[in-house]
Amino acid sequence: MSGVPAPRAAGDGQVLLRATDVVKHFPLRPGRRVVRAVDGVSLTVHSGETLGIVGESGCGKTTLARCLVRLIDLTSGTVEFEGRDITRMSRRALRPVRRHVQFVFQDPYASLNPRRRAGDIVADPLHVHGHGDGAAVRRRTEELFDVVGLSKTYVDRYPHEFSGGQRQRIGIARALALNPRLIVADEPVSALDVSIQAQVLNLFADLQEQYGLSYIFIAHDLGVVRHVSNRIAVMYLGEIVELADAEEVYAGPVHPYTEALLSAVPQIDDGTTVRRERITLTGDVPSAIAKPDGCAFHPRCRYAQERCRSERPLLTEVAPGRLAACHFPLLSGLTEQL
């Protein structure tokens, strides 16, 4: 599945991260069945862009993110960051790379140590990577609080004294501490109320503009992913089924799963929206332990044909700039737009 052509991207277009055929299987019993959490994913992230990864629970979004930054080791495949293969680097050799790749976690209640002060949490990366003495670290910490919109006077408070949105700001400040090039954000706003979610999404946008950051932004909320992303990868059962420019995916999905996913989003009817036809998927997502043969989506796909049951479709360019893993992509809607 290597050699996938990349659709156009925002930013200066330099490839920052390239993943090739990433596989992560978790064995259940040695030599027996495995959970195929990530099953052959190839993607690129360009400098200055946001790649959104969307999919339902259990589709392998988080496992993929952890593989991409080597928080866990890959079963097979490679990940290159700025042209260097980090797949089999030792922990020591990885350290300088880690400065440039930071992670923002989903649960702002679980990702901050409750027994440490907010300022110390944010300063941790600075200490680990040996950035100056106490006073310099303190100055930088206060600066980071300022950047993410928290009062400097909060540095000595403990996590429980902050609201959910403020905690996520602390997590973002910690990720920013070392001036990274890439931030991987795993469901950073899903635990927040909608008004607070909007504030944090605006912060992500401002920081990108200010520092030229690249993001891999994982979320299950399709509105959120559309809002932040330049390009979008849609995952289903450990595979990318569609990958293209965000607006194009939302305007005309070419994979039947994307089509169903978008049609399922409850929409606010304020008199301006146009309703799409709802495609209700039947049944549940199959288990990643016993993936269906052929196309993983075929048991729930309303367009499935004989070929889909036996032959696994690969992610290929089905229309200019539109990648999909489907034998019968939905191209009729595209010609109308062109």
Partner 1 sequence: MPEPLLEVRDLRVTFRTRRGTVTAVDGLSFSVLEGDTLGVVGESGAGKSVTVLSLLRLIRDPNARITGTALFGGEDLLSMPESDLRAVRGRDISMIFQNPMTALTPVYPIGWHIAEQLRAHEPMSKAAARARAIALLREVGMPNPEVRVDSYPHQLSGGMRQRACIAMALACNPRLLIADEPSTALDVTTQAQILELMLRLRNTHGSAIVLITHDMGVISETADRVLVMYGGRAVEHGSRADVFRRPRHPYTWGLLDSVPRVTGGRVRRLAAIPGSPLSPFEVPTGCVFAARCPHRHEACAQRPELRGVDGHLDACWLPDNRAEIRQQARSSQPAEVGP
- Each residue 138-167 as x (binds partner 1 by CB under 8 A) or -, in order, gives ----------xxx------------x-xx-
Structure tokens at 132: 């100056």
190 binds partner 1 (CB under 8 A): no
- Each residue 9-48 as x (binds partner 1 by CB under 8 A) or -, in order, gives ----------------------------------------
Nearer to partner 1 (CB atom), residue 98 or residue 169: 169
Beta carbons within 10 angstroms of residue 322's beta carbon = 22
Nearer to partner 1 (CB atom), residue 135 or residue 268: 268
Residue choice 113, 179, 267, 305 for contact with partner 1 (CB under 8 A): 267
205 binds partner 1 (CB under 8 A): yes
290 binds partner 1 (CB under 8 A): no
- Each residue 53-92 as x (binds partner 1 by CB under 8 A) or -, in order, gives ---xx-----------------------------------
Would you tell me which residues interact with partner 1 (CB under 8 A)? Answer: 56-57, 148-150, 163, 165-166, 169, 193-199, 201-203, 205, 220-224, 226-227, 247, 250, 260-274, 276, 278, 280-285
